[in-house]
Amino acid sequence: MTKRLNFRPGVIVAAAVATLLALSGCGGSTPASTSTAGNPYGLIQPGTIRVASLGDAKPYTFADAQGNFTGFDVELFKDVAHRAGVDNVVFTGQDFSGLLAAVANGQFDVGVAAIGITDKRKETVDFSDGYLAGYLTIITTKTSGIKDANGLAGKRLGVVQGTLQEAYAVKNFTSASLVRFPDNNTAIAALNNGSVDAHFLDYEAAKSYEKQHGLVSAADIPSFDAPAGFAMAKGKTALKEALNKGLAEAMEDGTWKKLYKKWFPGSPMPEQYLPKAEQTTTPAPSK
Ligand code: SNW
């Protein structure tokens, strides 16, 4: 109540100023021009990037024991944001299914969570250039008997709602019963207690859970046509350009490679994100 009362006069003053500016012809034709000066990227709060992320997609994005966000995507994004001149980056965990909508409607400035770039998602948000392309993995228990995708027939397969895994499974694993979960942790708990037979998730996250719970991979499915990108509301051109510039720099100076080795040790090194001098084949076109 008090907050509201305090807030109102500010709104009235702002409205009055806007009216005066409009009447006097100051302020220019774009009302955003005043705010653009101190807020070139159109951030919710100038100088801070508010990021919608996931707390349980290790090693891409996850909250550590202290509740701090870390992982490959988190460290890469912070590095890129720094290059764009923003050091204050605040990560918040979301359910994946609501993440892109929350970015599109302005609750967050950016979505960072190994989010694959697809034409369908581009109807909702804009994406930076791609920064990761890999596999989706079916994980299961050692005793389930599921050895490959065909083994899913008649089995219960977990997917996180809104992911590419869900879309892929709906299309291709038609003989499995899909069980939708809000996040990986819930799905893995269900796998461990036997209420699903397998779970379908990102390759690197699968490896983490395999190690943690003694689970095994039954199949790896390429997702190279949907490289991960940073998601933004449409029309944030300055922000997108700054992030793309930062990303390109992070790739060219070896930062991307360093982070890849740190977070995905033992995984094959994709060449298209390495410094140009280290690429031996023709780089794949970035989206
Ligand atoms: O499409 C892949 C991409 O090739 C890379 O391996 C990183 O993950 C993906 O972007 C797929 N990620 C899923 C998606 O975009 C799930 C995201 C998540 O669980 N964090 O729907």
Which tens digits make up the pLDDT trace of 197-242? 999 999 999 999 999 999 999 999 999 999 999 999 999 999 999 9
The pLDDT of residue 3 is 40
Segment 19-37 shows an average pLDDT of 47
Binning pLDDT at 50, 70 and 90, where does residue 281 land?
low
DSSP 42-101: --SBTTEEEEEE-SEETTTEEE-TTS-EESHHHHHHHHHHHHTT--EEEEEE--HHHHHH
pLDDT at 6 over 80: no
Quote the percentage of the chain above a pLDDT of 90: 84
Average pLDDT over all residues of the chain: 90
Segment 278-283 shows an average pLDDT of 75
Cα 275 to ligand 1 centroid, rounded to whole Å: 23
Q: How far is it, in rounded angstroms, from Cα 233 to Cα 240?
A: 10
Report the alpha-carbon angle 259-262-267, nearest 5. 100
Structure token pair of residue 254: 């070896």
Cα 159 to ligand 1 centroid, rounded to whole Å: 12
Cis amide prior to 275 (ω within 30 degrees): no
Segment 256-264 shows an average pLDDT of 98
Segment 1-29 shows an average pLDDT of 44
From the CB of 228, is ligand 1 less than 6 Å away? yes
Binning pLDDT at 50, 70 and 90, where does residue 140 land?
very high
Number of residues written out for the chain: 287
DSSP assignment letter at 149 = G
Of the residues 51, 94, 164, which should be mutated to test ligand 1's pocket, given the most ligand atoms within 8 Å of the CB?
Answer: 164
Give the ligand 1 atom nearest the CA of 115: 15
Report the alpha-carbon angle 228-118-129, nearest 5. 45
